[in-house]
Amino acid sequence: MIKVENVQYAYHTGTEALRDVSVAFPRGTISAVLGESGSGKTTLLMLLGQFLRPDAGRITLDNRDIYEIPEPEYRRALGIVFQNLYLFPHMTVLENMTLAPVKVLGADKVGTEDDARAMLDRLGIGEIADSYPSQISGGQGQRAAIARGLMLQPEYMLLDEPTSALDANTTDEFAAWLRELSDQTNFIIVTHDVLFADKAAHQGVYLSDGQVLDTGTIDTIIQHVRSGRLVEVDG
Amino acid sequence: MPPEMASENHASPPSSRRRLWRTCGWLATVAAGVALAAAVLTTQPVGADGGPPQGAPPGATRPATRATTQPNGAATQPADGAVARESVGNGDGGISPAVVARKLGKGFAITLLVAAASLTIGFFLSVPVGVVLNRNRGIAYYITRSFVDFIRGTPVLVQLYFVYFGSPVIGLHLAPITSAIATLSINAMAYMAEVVRSGLMSVDRGQMLAGRALGLSRWDVFRRIVWPQAFRIAIPPLMNSVVALIKDTALISIISVVEVVHTAKSLVSITYEPMKYYFIVALMFFVVTFPLMKLAGRLEERIRQKGYAHD
């Protein structure tokens, strides 16, 4: 379980991005981090990704402080797919997927390529293996980026605004697809898209202005959002 | 062009036909350059062009000039048997084309050698320097930044003098050619580092984050992800630096490196035909730089089509 406990974070500029944030991401669920832009979602993502360090409080993975876990080990435990995907434009989708396993895990190149093709087939995007990122659609790119992350078989996977490149129909399809994958991977979805969170996630946290406004099952959070409670407090 | 052909071209911008035309275009231009150089080389002075050198009255030498001009253009020996003077000229201000070709060829080989050595050294130095410049903070950055700015903000000529005449002061007696390569390498490094820096800057920081998130080491992220993208973007401006440096090698004649300009200068001092020899030298440079300029343009277009700069 990943636990965020009383975390504070302020940028050099003095902006307090997170104030006393506590939230847990248990195994076996899809979690959503909800909130408007500027609410501190991305800062939380950067902290969870070991790219920033909290000023106070701690983040633990199975009761170990994540900053005490050696970086290579932590990277294998938690994958991240950024909002802009950042597929490597000079490599095919297949090369994007095999780079890290070969370089980081020292895996055999040919075997990894077979694994990657099998993974793409399983994810329903087998046809894009040899395409470059500029040649595929937003939805395919989103799946390709997740596939790239899944190659290292992380226990947790952070998805930053995964629906930003998807249209409404694809979003439903994508939520169902994530649910299917969730028996092997614990997804943490950072999103402002309440409808998508409702379809994809089980539980979550609602951030506003760097503070936790609500936490619990996704249904109760959605109810609170719909009743206007969270928005009122926000204002 | 018939309309259907035009639309076909429009449908596939980098059509092979267009590419072929363009290739033919610059090959033809280069060929024209070579032909022109050959033409100038084989043209004999006919008294009226080259002014007579001191101590060689024109009237006395004109017959010899005619004697060297033969229809097949292969004449190398003056008919009057002045074999001993062949290496410097035949005494009338005209030098046999073969001698000119050999001398200028040898000079240009030195030019290209200096350029190639400086470019290679300069490029390999420019990559780490560009990386430091791209960091934009820290003491290494400020030192490097100042050095690069200083090199870029001072004349190459002064730098050449500084290295060549200054090196003995600290006990280093550098040969002219060594001084030239050292100076031009540093110069190429400064300009190319700037290009490398802008290339690195144009790669989205997210590419680095994504690589790190996949567990790749900093080195692997640079080597496999950031550098290939930065380099592709940097190729066209790097080509411009290459062209600029090749042209700058002309300056090294000033510290007595016997390269092509130096050679031309001595030929002119014998023949008094500055237009002819400096034009030939200009053409020699152009034959090398023109394809590089065209190549830079084409690579730029290709990179734009692939969209690397935007991803």
Residues 183-222 of A with CB under 8 A from B: none
pLDDT at B45: 52
Q: Which of A34, A27, A145 is nearest to A84 (CA)?
A: A145
DSSP A35: E
The complex's ipTM works out to 0.84
pLDDT for res A224: 86
Q: Which residue of chain A is at minimal alpha-carbon distance from B305?
A: A134
Residue A164: the pLDDT is 83
Alpha helix segments (H runs only) across B69-224: 97-135, 139-152, 156-166, 176-201, 205-213, 218-220
What is the pLDDT averaged over residues B274-278?
A: 88
Amino acid, single-letter form, for residue B47: G
How much of chain B exceeds pLDDT 70, in percent? 74
Dist CA A81 CA A87 (whole Å): 9
Distance from CA of B208 to the nearest CA of A (A): 9
Q: Do residues A42 and A188 touch, judged by C-beta distance below 8 A?
A: no
Report the run of H or E that residue B282 belongs to, with start and end.
helix B274-306
Question: Phi/psi at B223 (nearest 5 deg)?
Answer: -65, -40
Q: What is the pLDDT of residue A12?
A: 86
**Residue B42 binned pLDDT confidence (cut-offs 50, 70, 90):** low
Check if A153 contacts B (Cβ < 8 Å).
no
Q: Determine the residue among B202, B205, B208, B214 to mutate to test chain A binding: the one whose Cβ has the most chain A Cβ atoms within 10 Å.
A: B214
Whether residue B41 is predicted with pLDDT greater than 50 in this model: the reply is yes
CB A19 within 8 A of CB A174: no
Residue B68: name the closest of B93, B90, B37, B40 by CA. Answer: B90
User: For residue A161, how many C-alpha atoms fall within 13 Å in the half-sphere facing its CB?
Assistant: 14
Sign of CA dihedral B82, B83, B86, B88: negative
Measuring CA to CA, which residue among B19, B204, B174 is closest to residue A133? B204
Inform me whether the C-beta atom of residue B228 falls under 8 Å from chain A C-beta atoms: yes
pLDDT reading at B8 higher than 80: no
Lowest mean pLDDT among A65-69, B41-45, B164-168, B230-234: B41-45
**Rounded-to-integer distance, Cα A210 and Cα A9, Å:** 9
Mean pLDDT computed over B228-241: 91
Q: What's the mean pLDDT when you consider all of chain B?
A: 78
The per-residue pLDDT for range B244-262, each reduced to its tens digit, is 999 999 999 999 888 899 9
Fold of A2-234: Rossmann fold (3.40.50)
Is the pLDDT at B15 greater than 70, yes or no?
A: no
Cβ neighbour number for residue A88 with a 10 Å cutoff = 24
Residues of B in contact with A103 (CB under 8 A): 216-217, 220, 224
- Say which range, A153-157, A222-226, B37-41, B85-89, has the weakest mean pLDDT: B85-89
Query: How many Cβ contacts (< 8 angstroms) between chains A and B?
Result: 68
Minimal CA separation from A73 to chain B, in Å: 8
- In this structure, the number of other CB atoms found within 10 A of the CB of residue B1 comes to 7
pLDDT values of chain A reduced to their tens digit, one per residue, 235 residues: 899 999 999 998 888 889 999 999 999 899 999 988 888 898 999 999 988 999 999 999 999 999 999 888 898 899 999 988 899 999 999 999 999 999 988 889 999 999 999 989 888 889 999 999 989 988 889 889 989 998 988 999 999 998 887 777 788 888 888 888 888 899 999 998 888 999 999 999 999 888 888 888 998 988 888 887 775 444 3
Residue B160's pLDDT is: 94
Query: Cα(A222)–Cα(A200) distance, rounded to whole angstroms?
Result: 12
Q: Does B302 touch chain A (CB under 8 A)?
A: no
Closest CA to A160 of B139, B31, B210: B210
pLDDT in tens, B183-216: 999 999 999 999 999 999 999 999 999 999 998 9
Checking if the pLDDT of B54 tops 90, the result is no
Helices and strands, number each (H, E), in chain A: 9, 10
What is the residue-wise DSSP string for B139-167? HHHHHHHHHHHHHHTS-HHHHHHHHHHHG
Mark yes or no for CB contact B206/A49 under 8 Å.
no
User: Is pLDDT at B304 greater than 80 in this prediction?
Assistant: no
Question: Which one is predicted more confidently, B311 or B143?
Answer: B143
Taking CB atoms and an 8 Å cutoff, what residues of chain B touch A85?
Answer: 210
Work out the pLDDT band at B101, boundaries 50, 70, 90: confident
* Domains assigned to chain B: 15-85 (no CATH), 97-306 (1.10.3720.10)
What is the rounded CA–CA span in Å between residue A157 and residue A166?
Answer: 19
Interface test with B, best of A103, A104, A158, A190 (most B CBs within 10 A): A103
Q: Are strands A16-25 and A2-10 parallel, antiparallel or unpaired?
A: antiparallel
Whether residue B210 and residue A82 make contact (CB cut-off 8 A), yes or no, is: yes
Helix (H, G, I), strand (E, B) or coil at A154: coil
Per CB-CB distance under 8 Å, the chain B contacts of A133 are 311
For residue B5, the model assigns a pLDDT of 42
Tell me the shortest Cα–Cα distance from B216 to chain A, in angstroms: 6
A86–B212 CB contact, under 8 Å: no
**Strand A16-25 with A186-191, pairing:** unpaired
| Per-domain residue ranges of chain A | 2-234
Inter-chain residue contact A100 with B215, CB threshold 8 Å: yes
Q: A199, A216 in Cβ contact below 8 A? A: no
d(C-alpha B77, C-alpha A69), whole Å: 84
User: Which token pair is B53?
Assistant: 């050198």
Nearest CA to A128 among A107, A148, A156, A103? A148
The owner of tokens 């070991």 is A50
